[in-house]
Structure 1
Amino acid sequence: MRNSAKRGTGTILTAALVSLALLLAGCEAGGPAPSPPGSSATPGPSEPTLSAPANAAASVHFTTQGDIGVKKTSQHVLDTIADLKPQFNLALGDFTYKAGIEQQFCDMVKGKLGENFPYEVLTGNHESDGSDGDIANIVKCLPNKLPGIQGEYGTQWYVDVPETNPLVRFVMVSPGIDFQNQQHLDFSKGSDRWNWTTNAIDGATAAKIPWTVVGMHAPCLSVGKYDCKVGQDFATMLLEKKVDLVLTGHDHIYQRTHQLALGTACPALVPNELSPNCITDSDSSMAKGAGTVFVTVGVGGESLYDVNNNDSEAGYFTTWSGGNRDPAFGTLDVTATADQLSARLVPAKGYTFTDAFTIARY
């Protein structure tokens, strides 16, 4: 620190020490960060707040799971989420499993995570047709709390997080599940909903948003009980667009694929058979742009299905867990920076199975 005035050595030394102490106090690691605009200065431990990082050094931290229910295990998963303190949660459908108790479900969520926590919802098949609940009621008592959302919240929407200088675009869609009168929403190739989805993904690329995450209730590939309900064309399109991460529920298991991509020897993703040429990376440290990772997190608390170790699609997967193999309820915990997306399965109380992977820019 320079001082043009001539002073005694003791005076200069004292001023320098005071300035250094003040500088260290302001930069102390672990010191309190300023609260985001509009947030409480002292949020409670069970009421995480949505931060708004505004530069490439910031991060986005979220949790995600589906197939939740209103059981003790459901509450244990919510406790796990609360302990992780994410900025928000993506709930991938199938909430109450019973009509008329939507408010009970919402009260359970708010009781564990806080009244103002962004618990963002996407319909599953149990509430999409009203038979075991109604997505309209869930949307009413768990409304969107993320700024800048586009589309129809609960059914087909996307949002950039943070809203300014975003790190992740989340595209949430509902192909392959029944709505009223057993009718699917039309996500077939070239349809309005197909075009809406591809435009949302392409828009993220054009805006140079570092990561694109697609969420939908039903998976395509699975070692569980379901087939490719979203359709081969839709799943192939996600590979063609080089979506970084696809999140699903529906099958009450946990499963993660290798990184998959299209190419000359893999022109399409064909369900019910294995094409090794579609696999671009088979370990847990992957490179951005080399393919897409599909993760099913249907372990939110309702129940667990068995997995088939000999399934024809098993070769696509790195790991899996179900009722008959390493059973665990839990949540996927994801953090994204400009340079890396890292995720881990965090088991709920009483369970031990876990998984972890990263996708990084090299």
Structure 2
Amino acid sequence: MTEEVENGNVDSIFHIGDISYATGFLVEWDYFLNLITPLASKVSYMTAIGNHERDYSDSGSWYTGPDSGGECGVPYETYFPMPTPAKDKPWYSIEQGSVHFTVISTEHDWTEKSEQYEWMKTDMASVDRSKTPWLVFTGHRPMYSSLGADDQFLETIEPLLLNNKVDLVLFGHVHNYERTCSIYKSECLAMPEKDKNGIDTYDNTNYTAPVQAIVGMAGFSLDKFPDDAPSWSLVRISEFGYVRAHATKNELKLEFVNSDTKNVDDSFIITKK
């Protein structure tokens, strides 16, 4: 990634939760911040909060495990001041080029009629698709994973994605890479077709449902997949890497780059006219 930034190929980086795994040890934050300085000093480094930054019992987090080691989001919000509405309300949206990003916190109340839920509804409904034709929704915990997910989160938030014609959903939390069909309620409403280069291409001209991907393979120990893949899971890779994305008015292309080999191990395109 440093090489790509230095070559001028990167406009922005998104790190969607589980930032440093410091869990209360500030020296780990120092170490991590030093590691990302060659990147974050040159391009915008946008983040979402994860369980290892926020979750702790009796702290107001939606999930009550001890995963933050008592940090409760304080170091995270200090080191990564995002354009959020207020302290301990770490959800926001930004626009870059032809893409509107809606960034949520899966670690705060997202249930129907909660403050964050109402914000999501308003934010996505207000997107000017003539200005930013692509709508990308992102947060930490996934809706779909071969290793399981929170059914309540899926049932509550997924209808908002469909109603607002979200094109792409990106999550972390699970430490691997997994890509779905155009999915809603665990069913494939559309499948990609191969283009002339053999790349999976989703045609969103006649919108059906979002494509969802887990991109949690950037550094912590990898999670292996179970033997059986769900019918909606099209690609599963348990290797270290990152996703490289490029957007124009009519095309959104993503590539999974293997950190060890620098090969593109998966790529897909979403198009619209």
1:137 aligned to which of 44, 62, 75: 75
Instruction: Please say if residues 287 and 361 of structure 1, whose CA atoms lie closer than 8 Å, have aligned partners that are also in contact.
Output: yes
Runs of 4 or more consecutive aligned structure 1 residues displaced over 6 Å after TM superposition: none
2:232 aligned to which of 316, 321, 331: 316
Q: Distance in 2 between matches of 1:355 and 1:84?
A: 23
- Relative to structure 1, the CA distance from residue 96 to residue 206 in structure 2 (aligned partners, 3 Å threshold; closer, same or farther) is closer
Query: Alignment length, in residue pairs?
Result: 249
- Relative to structure 1, the CA distance from residue 281 to residue 359 in structure 2 (aligned partners, 3 Å threshold; closer, same or farther) is same
- Relative to structure 1, the CA distance from residue 190 to residue 300 in structure 2 (aligned partners, 3 Å threshold; closer, same or farther) is same
2:190 aligned to which of 280, 295, 317: 280
Per-residue CA deviation, residues 121-155 of structure 1 (Å, 9 max, x unaligned), is 111100113317554323433444xxxx4535882
Determine whether 1:128 maps to 2:128: no
Identify the residue that residue 41 of structure 1 maps to in structure 2.
Answer: none
**TM-score normalised to the size of structure 1?**
0.62
The code of the aligned residue for 2:171 comes to: T
More strand by share: 2
Identify the residue that residue 138 of structure 2 maps to in structure 1.
Answer: 215
- Relative to structure 1, the CA distance from residue 82 to residue 318 in structure 2 (aligned partners, 3 Å threshold; closer, same or farther) is farther
Q: Distance in 1 between matches of 2:150 and 2:228?
A: 15
Determine whether 1:155 maps to 2:62: no
Identify the residue that residue 105 of structure 2 maps to in structure 1.
Answer: 174
How many angstroms does 1:297 deviate by?
0.3
Higher relative contact order (CA 8 A, sep 6+): 1
% identity of equivalent residues = 22
2:258 aligned to which of 347, 353, 356: 347
Secondary structure of residue in 1 paired with 2:227: coil
Alignment of 1:1-362 (within 5 A): 85-98=9-22, 99=24, 100=26, 101-110=28-37, 112-129=38-55, 130-131=68-69, 133=71, 135-144=73-82, 149=83, 151-152=85-86, 155-162=90-97, 167-175=98-106, 177=107, 185-205=108-128, 208-224=131-147, 226-228=149-151, 230-261=153-184, 269-270=185-186, 275=187, 278-283=188-193, 284-288=200-204, 289-311=207-229, 314-322=230-238, 328-350=239-261, 352=263, 354-362=265-273
Instruction: Please say if residues 252 and 297 of structure 1, whose CA atoms lie closer than 8 Å, have aligned partners that are also in contact.
Output: yes
The code of the aligned residue for 2:268 comes to: F
CA RMSD, 1 decimal: 2.6
Q: Distance in 1 between matches of 2:225 and 2:8?
A: 28
Bigger CA radius of gyration:
1
Instruction: Please say if residues 92 and 215 of structure 1, whose CA atoms lie closer than 8 Å, have aligned partners that are also in contact.
Output: yes
- Relative to structure 1, the CA distance from residue 156 to residue 235 in structure 2 (aligned partners, 3 Å threshold; closer, same or farther) is same
- Relative to structure 1, the CA distance from residue 114 to residue 220 in structure 2 (aligned partners, 3 Å threshold; closer, same or farther) is closer
Secondary structure of residue in 2 paired with 1:346: strand
**TM-score normalised to the size of structure 2?**
0.81
Secondary structure of residue in 2 paired with 1:86: coil
Secondary structure of residue in 2 paired with 1:302: coil
Instruction: Please say if residues 254 and 297 of structure 1, whose CA atoms lie closer than 8 Å, have aligned partners that are also in contact.
Output: yes
Instruction: Please say if residues 84 and 90 of structure 2, whose CA atoms lie closer than 8 Å, have aligned partners that are also in contact.
Output: no
The code of the aligned residue for 1:212 comes to: L
Unpaired runs of 5+ residues, structure 2, are 56-67, 194-199
How many angstroms does 1:232 deviate by?
1.5
Q: Distance in 2 between matches of 1:152 and 1:316?
A: 37
Instruction: Please say if residues 80 and 330 of structure 1, whose CA atoms lie closer than 8 Å, have aligned partners that are also in contact.
Output: no
Instruction: Please say if residues 241 and 256 of structure 2, whose CA atoms lie closer than 8 Å, have aligned partners that are also in contact.
Output: yes
Per-residue CA deviation, residues 160-213 of structure 1 (Å, 9 max, x unaligned), is 224xxxx111110012x3xxxxxxx22112322111001111111466521111
How many angstroms does 1:350 deviate by?
4.0
Unpaired runs of 5+ residues, structure 1, are 1-76, 178-184, 262-268, 323-327
Per-residue CA deviation, residues 260-311 of structure 1 (Å, 9 max, x unaligned), is 25xxxxxxx15xxxx3xx4212431111233211010000111100112314
Instruction: Please say if residues 102 and 138 of structure 1, whose CA atoms lie closer than 8 Å, have aligned partners that are also in contact.
Output: no
How many angstroms does 1:107 deviate by?
1.6
Instruction: Please say if residues 182 and 209 of structure 2, whose CA atoms lie closer than 8 Å, have aligned partners that are also in contact.
Output: yes
The code of the aligned residue for 1:304 comes to: L
Q: Distance in 2 between matches of 1:239 and 1:259?
A: 10
